Amino acid sequence: MTDAIQDQDKFVTVGKYVESVDAQMAKGLLESAGIECFLQGENANSLLGAAFRARLLVHKQDEETARQLLGSTSGESNDQEDDGDL
């Protein structure tokens, strides 16, 4: 997965989370569905609280499926605001 992370043009943000536990749960949901994903900024979030959000990223081709899976879960942590590709 290290090579995939280096090629960030192929990843998009599908969720933003203030609480790292929520981010980890969403990541686990996507991974259990076979969607490769990773979190960005989860450690910065623990340092400065609400100043940062952990971002959940997936491959561009998995974006629609990931959003559907995340949308089927309850909670307000999933931020659907599109801030562009990485």
Q: Is the dihedral of CA 64, 65, 66, 68 positive or negative?
A: positive
pLDDT at 47 over 50: yes
All structural domains of the chain:
2-71 (3.30.70.790)
3-state secondary structure of 58: strand
Which of 63, 78, 85 shows the shortest CA–CA distance to 25? 78
More confident residue, 86 or 34: 34
Please state whether the predicted TM-score (pTM) of the whole model is above 0.75. no
**pLDDT on residue 77:** 45
Arithmetic mean of pLDDT over the chain: 77
Which of 17, 21, 15, 20 shows the shortest CA–CA distance to 68? 15
pLDDT at 68 over 50: yes
